[in-house]
Amino acid sequence: MSFLGELLSTLFDRTPLSFGLSSKADQPIDAMMEALVKTNGETAGLALSRSILTQYDGLDDNAKIALFEHLAEKMNINPEDVETSLKNYNQNPNKKTYQAFMQAAEPRRQELFRRLNHAPGATAFLVRMRADLLRLGRGKPQLEALDLDLKHLFVSWFNRGFLVLRRVSWQSPAHILEKIIAYEAVHAIDSWDDLRRRMEPEDRRCFAFFHPSMPDEPLIFVEVALTHGIANSIQVILAENREVIAGDTADTAVFYSISNCQAGLAGISFGNSLIKQVAADLAQEWPGLKTFVTLSPIPKLAAWSKDMGIDLAAQNPDQLKSMAAHYLLNAKSHGQWPYDPVARFHLGNGAMIHALHGDADLSEKGIAQSGGMMVNYLYDLKSVESNQDKFAEEQVIKSASDISTWAEKFAPSI
């Protein structure tokens, strides 16, 4: 399949089209956006797209907000058109009336985004633009609505079928690796030596999803340790002088860090696929692996306990553990869903709560967010799908039997 490989390596190597220069490509950005939606010309369109990309990068936040507002207002659907076209379609459903309805029901900015994407490198640009929009639009109903259009497009473009799972290793390009350093959000990588300890040994793995149009940008990545038995602290996993084990003697794969890389892809979920695909790949490479488990933070335990009026620091180890068990099983937000976002993610994927470990993350951040407690979520091949269904439909949280025992003992010092 190297043909594909070589084929794609030219994705961004396009020779600039030299067919004329568009005189329209030197106007205010909103005017160029209007022109881009209207133009018939490929060359003109590309010239406009390039100018828009360049001009956008020079805008300050206020100008960006103004631009987003322009998109939200001036390139929105026209409700009357929707209504009329819907009526026509209803009376006479055929290709023509349906096309008219589709066109009316889709705001023009969607076509704008699609056309912008014709320019080389534009996909990454649009992802950055959405990151701006999410940051600047918070609390502004119009802009929050506008975001749905970008998100709708991204759900289509970043379809699982277009993503590529790829191992990242010490043999990967440095410009990719430095992004792993930058994007690691759970247990910070503090140097190239630290990175190397996570990438090079044969009992350490890292996998990421990439999109063909953003080949230099990982979308999400997971770090995995192959171990004998389930690791009970992050210190053990990240220790500088630990002994490397032979991959074919490992019985357990510990997913100890998952990081989303692109703020502009918020809400477009990859993590679910990533973990399962990585588990499937590892199981095939190392038939000895029997257990697939996370070693996860409990990021909101401290926040929740504070809300409860409980002083996390005042709890003895057993109290802490029973509090964590209670919290994971019973604390809810949005009504029925687990309060803890990491719990929500893994339980939503069909994992179960397997074990709790005190003094498992002694970093400043680990102590602050959960008093050092960490949790293993277990991906059990046989039950992951039924777990997922029960959690989705009835919010059933599956856990090892002693977790509920610990939860029942919940009696914090106050």
Six token digits for residue 219:
């979308």
Indicate the helix (H) or strand (E) that contains 375. strand 374-379
The only residue of 55, 235, 363, 388 in contact with its own copies, by rule CB under 8 A? 388
Span of 164-172, 329-337, 338-346, 357-365 interacting with its own copies by CB under 8 A: 164-172
Q: Amino acid identity, residue 394?
A: E
In the complex, least distance from residue 180 CB atom to its own copies, rounded to whole angstroms:
10
Chosen residue from 30, 144, 194, 359 binding its own copies by CB under 8 A: 144
Instruction: Tell me the C-alpha distance between 139 and 184, whole Å.
Output: 28
Stretch that binds its own copies, among 56-64, 322-330, 354-362, 377-385 (CB under 8 A): 377-385
The answer to whether residues 168 and 207 touch, using CB atoms and an 8 Å cutoff, is yes
The CA distance from 159 to 386, in Å, is: 24
Contacts of 100 (CB under 8 A, 6+ apart): 85, 88, 89
Binding span for its own copies by CB under 8 A among 35-43, 220-228, 233-241, 336-344: 35-43
Which CB atom, from 305 or from 387, has the smaller least distance to its own copies? 387
The reply to whether 19 sits near its own copies by the rule CB under 8 A is yes
284-313 mask for its own copies (x: CB under 8 A)?
Answer: x-----------------------------
Q: How far is the CB of 286 from its own copies (least distance, A)?
A: 12
CB of residue 102 to its own copies, shortest distance in Å? 6
CB of residue 283 to its own copies, shortest distance in Å: 7
Contact (CB, 8 A) for 265 and 127? yes
Vertex 14, ends 13 and 20: CA angle to 5°?
Answer: 155
> What residue type is assigned to position 232 of the chain?
N
Residues ≥6 apart with Cβ < 8 Å to 6 = none
Between 268 and 325, CB nearer to its own copies = 268
Sign of CA dihedral 222, 226, 228, 233: negative
Please confirm, yes or no, whether 296 is among the known catalytic residues. yes
Tell me the site size for its own copies, rule CB under 8 A.
107
Q: Which is nearer to its own copies, 55 or 97 (CB)?
A: 97
Residues 37-96 close enough to bind its own copies by CB under 8 A: 40-44, 77, 79, 82-83, 86, 89-90, 93-95
Site for its own copies in 103-142 (CB under 8 A): 105-106, 114, 117-120, 122-123, 141-142
Does residue 352 contact residue 399 with C-beta atoms inside 8 Å?
yes
Please identify, using beta-carbon distances, which residue of 20 and 317 lies nearer to its own copies. 20
Q: Are 179 and 220 in contact (CB under 8 A)?
A: no
Dihedral Cα 277, 299, 291, 188, nearest 10 deg: 70
Q: How far is the CB of 370 from its own copies (least distance, A)?
A: 28
Q: Distance (Å, rounded) from C-alpha 397 to C-alpha 9? A: 45
State the Cα–Cα distance between residues 230 and 352, nearest whole angstrom: 15
- Of 31, 63, 239, 280, which one interacts with its own copies (CB under 8 A)? 280
220 contacts its own copies (rule: CB under 8 A): no
Separation CA 408–CA 162 (nearest Å)? 46
Q: Which is nearer to its own copies, 126 or 250 (CB)?
A: 126
Contact call for residue 329 and its own copies (CB under 8 A) = no
Say which residues have a Cβ less than 8 Å from residue 194's Cβ, sequence separation at least 6: 238
User: Which residue among 257, 296, 322, 370 is the active-site one?
Assistant: 296
Please say which residue, 58 or 161, places its beta carbon nearer to its own copies.
161
Q: Which of 187, 211, 326, 346 is catalytic?
A: 346
From the CB of 203, what's the least distance to its own copies, in Å? Answer: 17
Q: Which residues are catalytic?
A: 296, 346
